[in-house]
């Protein structure tokens, strides 16, 4: 039996009726602007909608058109993205927009293959843009959609597996309305955020509970099934807020790898003790003809989780001694080191959690 026959397709109308009354007012909706939709979808991939809205507004003020974004430098783009994390998304968004400007004359392509060929655009983003901007009957399967369909159709496959995702994508494609595909995809997003939520679904408020198989069987909270295989590596880190007069010493991370080309306070990974960590920090500044005295009291411990690793950061204050002028000290510093006043911090792109430590300066 075709899985779509398990439920009467009238449920899609019920969902759209719910959406007509309860849809969120968002600045990229009802615009038909593929650029705004593109930016909003990339921003919201790892961030709650309410938290990312101010970033979206600021972004559109700074880069109101695709041409503006295409003309911007990577540093400008990453700086505008600061606070959202996962900076590769910002870099890829800029590169993808540049492809549209250069190859398509600034017009977002209207077919899925061309969309998915753009840098940073996957199946979900392509489906969201094509359906929301051009009302094309294209699926946009994200975490909310996987959860809603897993409960409605009682899918017990791991939704992180290829099999589980393909099965649900097939169901979405079969049930996607012909007349309102873009609004249906947005309805699924809002419904998954407001009613069919992860831990404690609000089944008593759900307009689809009468047809939901998981609700009928009493196990909606246990679905979907997600089997995570990613091992998170924990790294302890000693960070020095090293000050010379009114200036702090900063280091620019390499232009490859995690948090590439962003600024950080001098740090040491996996020190065996405070003494060993302090010695490493002292050796870093000795290269510039300086000495440093580090206070042995940790002023803040900060935990930051990336997708595959966790940093446990302990920050310490230190005073740099240098017998010379600011100009002579700056002359000793390579291009990937810098002396900055606290008032200049806002002009620089900070390496993730290091930005949070600026409040201690």
Q: Which of 25, 41, 75, 323 is catalytic?
A: 41
In contact, 118 and 98? CB cutoff 8 Å: no
| Total domains, the chain | 2
Q: Structure tokens of 361?
A: 């300066």
Any idea what the CATH number is for the domain that residue 256 is in? 3.90.79.10
The 3-state DSSP class for residue 306 equals: coil
Going through 114-257 in order, the beta strands assigned E by DSSP cover 233-244, 247-252
Any idea what the CATH number is for the domain that residue 82 is in? 1.10.340.30
Q: Is residue 227 part of a domain?
A: no
Half-sphere exposure of 205 (CA within 13 A, CB side): 11
Q: Is residue 48 part of a domain?
A: yes
Query: Does residue 187 sit in the same domain as residue 255?
Result: no
Q: Which domain holds residue 340?
A: 233-360
Query: Does residue 92 sit in the same domain as residue 211?
Result: yes
Query: Does residue 290 sit in the same domain as residue 252?
Result: yes
Q: How many CB atoms lie within 10 A of CB 161?
A: 14
pLDDT in tens, the chain (361 residues): 455 556 667 899 999 999 999 999 999 998 899 999 999 999 998 888 989 999 999 999 999 999 999 999 999 999 999 888 888 999 999 999 999 999 999 999 999 999 999 999 999 999 999 999 999 999 999 999 999 999 999 999 999 899 999 999 999 999 999 999 999 999 999 999 999 999 899 999 999 999 999 999 999 999 999 887 778 899 999 999 999 999 999 999 998 888 888 999 999 999 888 889 899 999 999 999 999 999 989 999 999 988 788 999 999 999 999 988 999 898 889 999 999 999 999 888 898 899 999 999 9
Is 50 a known active-site residue?
no
Half-sphere exposure of 288 (CA within 13 A, CB side): 31
**Cα(176)–Cα(245) distance, rounded to whole angstroms?**
63
């Amino acid at each position: 039996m075709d899985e779509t026959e398990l439920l009467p397709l009238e449920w899609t109308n019920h969902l759209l009726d719910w959406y007509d009354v309860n849809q969120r007012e968002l600045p990229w909706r009802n615009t038909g602007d593929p650029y705004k939709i593109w930016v909003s979808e990339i921003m919201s991939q790892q961030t709650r909608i309410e938290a990312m809205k101010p970033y979206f507004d600021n972004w559109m003020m700074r880069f109101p058109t695709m041409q503006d974004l295409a003309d911007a430098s990577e540093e400008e783009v990453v700086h505008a993205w600061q606070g959202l994390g996962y900076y590769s998304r910002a870099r890829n968004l800029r590169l993808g927009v540049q492809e549209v400007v250069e190859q398509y004359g600034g017009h977002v392509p209207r077919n899925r293959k061309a969309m998915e060929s753009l840098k940073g655009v996957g199946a979900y983003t392509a489906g969201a843009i094509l359906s929301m901007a051009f009302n094309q009957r294209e699926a946009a399967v994200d975490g909310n959609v996987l959860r809603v369909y897993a409960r409605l159709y009682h899918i017990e496959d791991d939704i992180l597996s290829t099999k589980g995702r393909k099965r649900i994508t097939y169901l979405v494609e079969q049930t996607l309305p012909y007349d309102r595909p873009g609004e249906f995809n947005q309805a699924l997003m809002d419904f998954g955020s407001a009613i069919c939520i992860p831990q404690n679904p609000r089944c008593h408020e759900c307009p689809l509970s009468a047809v939901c198989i998981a609700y009928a069987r009493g196990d909606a909270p246990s679905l979907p099934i997600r089997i995570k295989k990613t091992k998170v590596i924990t790294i302890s880190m000693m960070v020095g807020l090293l000050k010379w007069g009114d200036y702090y010493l900063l280091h620019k991370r390499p232009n490859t790898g995690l948090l590439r080309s962003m600024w950080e306070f001098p740090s040491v990974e996996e020190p065996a003790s405070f003494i060993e960590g302090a010695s490493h920090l002292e050796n870093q500044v000795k290269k510039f003809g300086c000495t440093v005295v580090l206070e042995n009291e940790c002023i803040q411990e900060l935990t930051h989780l990336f997708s595959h690793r966790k940093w446990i950061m302990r920050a310490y204050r230190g005073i740099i001694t240098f017998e010379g002028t600011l100009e002579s000290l700056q002359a000793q510093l390579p291009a990937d080191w810098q002396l900055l006043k606290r008032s200049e911090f806002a002009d620089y792109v900070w390496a993730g959690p290091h930005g949070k430590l600026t409040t201690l300066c």
